[in-house]
Amino acid sequence: GIVLELLKEAMVANLGDTKGFLIDGFPRELKEAEEFESKFGEPKLVFCLDCSTETMSSRLLRSQSSQHFDSDETIKEGIESYHQAAKPMIAYYERKTQLRKVN
């Protein structure tokens, strides 16, 4: 609820001449997607960055900002957790034909 209120405030404050908004990293799971749609309506388009587990791992290992990923095992667990949460949401948007995967 808090994230949705923050999004609403930011979107309303920036309506002006905009044709839309790009929201990075949200929703992260199906429940958030459904809450977003009930409050704002369906998004016209959803992008999903589609890369292999190996690519994710190597990028997290190189990243200075990923200090909470301090080992290969922690990274593996984080990626598995991401896939578990994201898979139903990705399938949801694929059914609505508004998902675009970007390699």
What's the pLDDT tens digit per position in 50-97?
Answer: 888 888 888 877 775 555 656 778 888 888 988 898 899 899 999 987
What's the pLDDT tens digit per position in 7-24?
Answer: 989 888 888 878 888 888
Q: Which residue has the tokens 């199906």?
A: 30
pTM of the model: 0.71
- Closest C-alpha to 86, from 22, 33, 41: 33
**What does the pLDDT read at residue 67?**
58
> Contact at 8 Å (CB) between 38 and 92?
no
> What domains appear along the chain, each with residue ranges and CATH number?
2-101 (3.40.50.300)
Return d(Cα 75, Cα 99) in angstroms, integer: 26
**What does the pLDDT read at residue 78?**
85
DSSP-based three-state secondary structure for 23: coil
Q: Which residues contact 69 (CB under 8 A, 6 or more apart)?
A: 60, 61, 63, 75, 78
**What does the pLDDT read at residue 73?**
80
Give me the phi and psi of 69, to 5 degrees please: -100, 90
Better pLDDT: 29 or 69 = 29
Across the range 40-46, mean pLDDT stands at 89
